[in-house]
Structure 1
Amino acid sequence: MERVGIGIVGCGNISTAYLKAASVFEILDVRAVADLNAEAAAARGAEFGVASKSVQDLLADPAIEIVVNLTIPKAHVEVGLQAIAAGKNVHSEKPLGISTGEARQLVDAARARGLRLGAAPDTFLGGAHQTARKLVDEGAIGTPLAGTAFFMCPGHERWHPNPGFYYLAGGGPMLDMGPYYITDLVNLLGPVARVAGMASRMRSERVITSEPLAGTRVPVEVATHVAGTLEFVSGAIVTVVMSFDVAGHRHRPIELYGTEGALCVPDPNHFGGTIEMATADKDWHGVPTQHIYADGNYRIIGVADMARAIRSGRAHRANGELAFHVLEVMEAFQRSADSGTHIVIGSRPDRPAALPTDVRFGDLD
């Protein structure tokens, strides 16, 4: 199958993971990287043996079919629209936009041009999460009734070299980490029907403790502790907490409770991990992972799936409709907190197709 040329815009921290994982997937041909900081693009290109270009030259390159947008959240829609205007399919880092209003522009523009739109996270395609999906689909825990999803930490200023954007519009624990959890929950349970949420911002600034900006104070413009409940179209009810205000906790990342059993799903920020299950007749026990892509960081698998889908004509899994739905759900937590009401979710994406258990390494079909 003819390889698909991709170009990466944004050469920050996360670009390293994408470029390392690109070599796994035979369908991908990384043609160039670009960044507003030409030196950053040149350094990243040299590191991986890839050409560095200006953003404009990358968008004009006819050999590039997919633009991978790894810019900061505030720039996701602006850069995505430029790529679509240039006739490129787009895969964006999460979130799809910092609001559903601006993200809708991307969805509509891609549809109008007949182009594909996708977005991270693609970790739900990891082996552990696909095995968990298979267990749910096969009725291993019966009908899912409820669940929990927890991400809580003291904040990213402890480790990220330039964490200020995590506390501005488009950041915060919900828009930063929520996509991993809510996308995986939609993969497992289907779309969300309504949301009830509460949110708090206990500090107006943070002090960076990581290098090279240790001691720098950054403003906090977004809620840093968000909690609430998701009601799924299926009827399942899941409690969610996303926080940058918690020193430590012992909750599992995701637990699902069904009529016949319970399932522990590993961290959705990773592709693998330990799956555990319990039933009335058997206490917690490990469940073997049945799918590949569980033993490493495959953080470009969604792009590879889009590329494979372009060549075969099928739908891609980490698609724009899914990402828009997840953004609408995340936005609803703050809307619910502000209004004191449940928020009905208007979008209803299909669950992305499950990965087969017999996929060959380096492929997705």
Structure 2
Amino acid sequence: MTEQQKLSKYWMLTNEYTQNPYPVLEYVREERPVCELAIPGGGRAWVVTRHEDAKAALADPRLSRDIHVHYRLLSEQAGYEMTPPPEHANHLANLEPPRHTPLRKAISANFTPRRTNSLRERVEQIADELLDDIAADVAGGAPGADLIAAYADPLPVIVIAELMGVPVSAWPDFLRWSTELRETPAEDPASAQTVKELSSFMSALIAEKEREPGDDLISALVHAETGRLTPTEILSTAFALMTGGNDTTASLIGGVLLTLLTHPKERAGLLAEPGRWGSEMDELVRFVSPITNTLQRATVEPVEIGGVTIPAGETVIISAISTNRDRDQFPDRPDEFDPARPKPSHLSFGHGIHYCSGAHLAKLMTEVAARRFFDRFPAARLAVDPSELRYRFSMVVRPLEELPVRVS
């Protein structure tokens, strides 16, 4: 985009931006690094696009993640009172201290690197089972597979369901609920039905774990000796894992598989030296940017960001996908995937007290998914030209609609 081209007031909401946001973001970073975005139906948001500004904003307590603050703003804009549903109003991503602090402590205790690494073998087994299904379909005459529907989407759903102690018999429902929550607009009555079904199931599961605990996350939260959560907080945490956890990881897995399919030299290096997977995951995360924007903030008082004073009572969006290509932060070919890049300080998982608790697990699942896939199908290749691939619109993640491949 050149300086002469007019930036639409809805610039982040267009299909052109969804399919290829990078030219627009490069222009915005250079010319309007804190840029207004019109919200359909009225209102506006301020988009922060430079790494240094974004990192400071994510740690600034004047930019609130409290969902109740956001709903007050929505109520003022709509002209009637709106309240957040309990399923979304009681987990740490949507709260600020003091309520955020004990929730963070309780959740983080179950997502330590050691705890996450203990799940590796089981994640590998689940990945292998999904790959078995792909191999069986190909052996039965299928020309290839859609790696999104067959692999990237179900893998995190199954892993997180098992982590929470959901019985195997309910996994198909969990996959359906996850898909419906992702693809159905919140205002659609079908979305409310999905929330009702999932809420009912999880409430029953929490009650069961209260009576008969197991070796799972829900039991650990129910029976924690310190920092115990209420049933409502546990239910809300389950919803956060089902939505944010699944969607982010599925988007990351799909993006990493695409990156390695289109970078055969770099892929060959990883396959030849499996020990490099862990160290190079951060570069893959930076390049793929599974999170387009971090969850919105609301200003509780005027805040100056990047030389722009944003009034109180405004919505602020941090563009993680932009910060991950910021030349000031990544001066050496920021638009390229470079496995040799020193560990990049990206913002894909946030920063400060709202840094994603499940970042270790998301990276582990993605590493396992990519490594097992290419070990199993080293001759895998895209079944279409990369220009034919399409992304689904989302303000938070960047999921591919499909990733068709031939595996032999």
TM-score by length of 2: 0.25
Q: Which of structures 1 and 2 has the larger relative contact order (alpha carbons within 8 angstroms, sep 6+)?
A: 2
Larger Rg: 2
Q: Which is richer in helix?
A: 2
TM-score by length of 1: 0.27
Q: Which is richer in strand?
A: 1
